[in-house]
A and B are shown apart, each in its own frame.
Chain A
């Protein structure tokens, strides 16, 4: 029986995950605590918060597991920089200074920062950590596992066979060919920030038509065995840390869209950019389907687990569920690099003799609210805070009267999706609600969709599909039934789908109670559910964060457990 801390850091979303006696006890992204979006720094605050939540001292930690192999990564970086000389000569000093200045010493830094003997700090391969993060918390005793991201040490795509406790690598595609970097390069070409704008590309895709297949055939070749090859002339991720696409891409698709330019989807030029996004989405889905079918052929399994940043593409996940031939598909909610922390912790726990954990049923793995502290701060700020006996009934009443409610209850979520614990909730009926949220509160592009949360047992009334293993975590989409679209105007995307969350009492009790109260009041048991954060901010974690959000944004009410603050009408 062991206490293991998993860590991911230094690239995108740093995170810590705590596994005690084989069970996942806490998992926190550093950004939630540091308040720096996608904070890549060593997640010492998150690690200590996980330990604090579990009541474990650093001295009781049996192992720290890092989610990638620093030496293998350095080797790939060195080989790659040498191979691409002279294009990389200007980057060489900076790249190696970054590696040698911090990254190869990361295991030492972890030991020193957490006061754990260095020999207890282990590392696991990046894609193995990803694969473990999905497979080991799935319900499957046997599954194919597909990991697709930008790049780990050398692999950018891997196929695994999970059986019992074991994961066996079956096939891989290596850097610089990468579906994650294809998507990232096009994200940059479309003028969105990389590592943040990929969701925007996915949202934009619904506004376009996938009519640029011929052009994309010059950018990426899909092979019959599921592998793929990028035309490297179109990309610059081998030699440029800033841009990610090369002159070849502009020769094929035309000039990039200027970053920051406001979107106008009535403008034919912007519609063509939407067509590029739609074609990219279609090509990505085709590539993933090819990989999934190969995985099915290699493993013979009925189940598929997905991990890596690309597994956050809910549209692609839905298509894999429909067309890949697998009976069931599971995506761990923190499928990106944060999830690597969880996978590494589980691998180390197994190495120390712990059993496989129970299947993940909730992603409320963060910290709870300190209500007393939040109350004291609200009083000090002169806010009209009050305690209520039934916050659920009040929230339902406010939402039914078209108010936008900032809702913070329970432990905050693990992964990029707000699933009711730190959410903005609203009535899903009017499209105007979407406009208000996009323009006034979230300050996002007008084409960005919002997601619905629906009472699980009533899903079929509103959506063409049943709850599956992905829908509780909002990692898939489903078509909105035509007869329900008028009632779900704020959450039905341009293509008639919605990235739904099905809500069960056992997984999300607070949100389930709220939807039940709405139903009891004669409303549809559906809410618009979007993350509780402003533009460029991480999702709210603490009561202080929630109060700060409330003060800065035009929401109608804030509910913090049983505390309520309402704006005067």
Chain B
């Protein structure tokens, strides 16, 4: 059996395309939180989303702690 080469990594899309994708995801997320049972979280979410889009476009955060999956 021989080793096979993986396909090359596709080029990263441009900023405009990435921003468009983020906005669509943000709209889906807002849609998710528009459910009446989740109204209480909506104001917090909108503020956080703005920060989130910025974080995402600037590379985000990478922090791993043992119990990170329970909280983050």
Contact = CB atoms under 8 A, between A and B. Distances in A.
B71 A241 contact: yes
Contacts of B28: 71
Interface in B14-63: 18, 21-22, 24-25, 28-29, 32-33, 38, 41, 44-45, 48-49, 51-52, 55-56, 60-63
Contact of B56 (A79, A101, A368): A101
A94 B51 CA distance: 12
Contact of A71 (B6, B32, B52, B63): B32
A225 interface: no
A367 interface: yes
A309 B53 CA distance: 32
Nearest to A88: B71
A95 B50 CA distance: 15
A241 B7 contact: no
A441 interface: no
Contact of A367 (B3, B13, B44): B3
Contacts of A171: none
Given A104-B25, A105-B25, A369-B3, A97 B67 contact: no
Contacts of A11: 68-69
A78 to B, nearest CB: 5
A362 to B, nearest CB: 14
Given A75-B41, A370-B2, A95 B71 contact: yes
Contacts of A244: 66-67
A81 B2 CA distance: 50
Contacts of B9: 44, 48, 113
Interface residues of B, number: 44
A91 B28 CA distance: 26
A2 interface: no
B55 A368 contact: no
A75 B21 CA distance: 21
Contacts, number: 155
Given A78-B44, A96-B48, A101 B4 contact: no
B45 A102 contact: no
A241 B72 contact: yes
B56 A100 contact: yes
Interface in A32-62: 40-41, 44-45, 48-49, 51-53, 55-58
Contact of A373 (B3, B6, B22, B44): B3
B2 to A, nearest CB: 7
Contact of B71 (A45, A49, A91): A91
A303 interface: no
A108 B33 CA distance: 19
Given A71-B28, A71-B32, A193-B66, A52 B71 contact: no
Contact of A105 (B7, B22, B32): B22
A176 B69 CA distance: 12
Contacts of B65: 241-242
Contacts of A78: 41, 44-45
Contact of A101 (B29, B60, B64, B69): B60
A99 B67 contact: no
B60 A102 contact: yes
A102 B7 contact: no
Contact of B70 (A40, A45, A108, A151): A151
Contacts of A151: 69-70
A94 B25 CA distance: 21
Contacts of B12: 112-113
B66 A188 contact: yes
Nearest to A81: B71
A290 interface: no
A102 B51 CA distance: 12
B2 A368 contact: yes
Nearest to A97: B61
Contacts of B49: 100
Contact of B66 (A52, A194, A367): A194
Contact of B1 (A101, A104, A105, A411): A411
Nearest to A54: B4
A184 interface: yes
A237 interface: yes
Contact of B33 (A75, A94, A150, A188): A75
B70 A238 contact: yes
A79 B62 CA distance: 22
Interface string A158-198: 00000000000000000110000100100010000111000
A112 B68 contact: no
Contacts of B72: 77, 94-95, 98-99, 103, 241
10 contacts: A44-B9, A75-B33, A82-B41, A95-B71, A113-B12, A240-B71, A242-B67, A368-B2, A368-B3, A373-B3
Interface of A: 11-12, 40-41, 44-45, 48-49, 51-53, 55-58, 71, 74-75, 77-82, 88, 91, 94-105, 107-108, 111-115, 118, 150-151, 175-176, 181, 184, 188, 193-195, 236-244, 367-370, 373, 410-411
The 6 closest A-B CB pairs, nearest first, are A100-B52, A115-B10, A52-B6, A101-B55, A370-B3, A101-B60
Given A108-B21, A112-B12, 18 more contacts: A11-B68, A12-B69, A44-B9, A51-B7, A55-B4, A77-B72, A94-B61, A96-B48, A97-B55, A101-B60, A105-B60, A112-B21, A150-B70, A184-B67, A188-B66, A242-B65, A242-B66, A367-B4
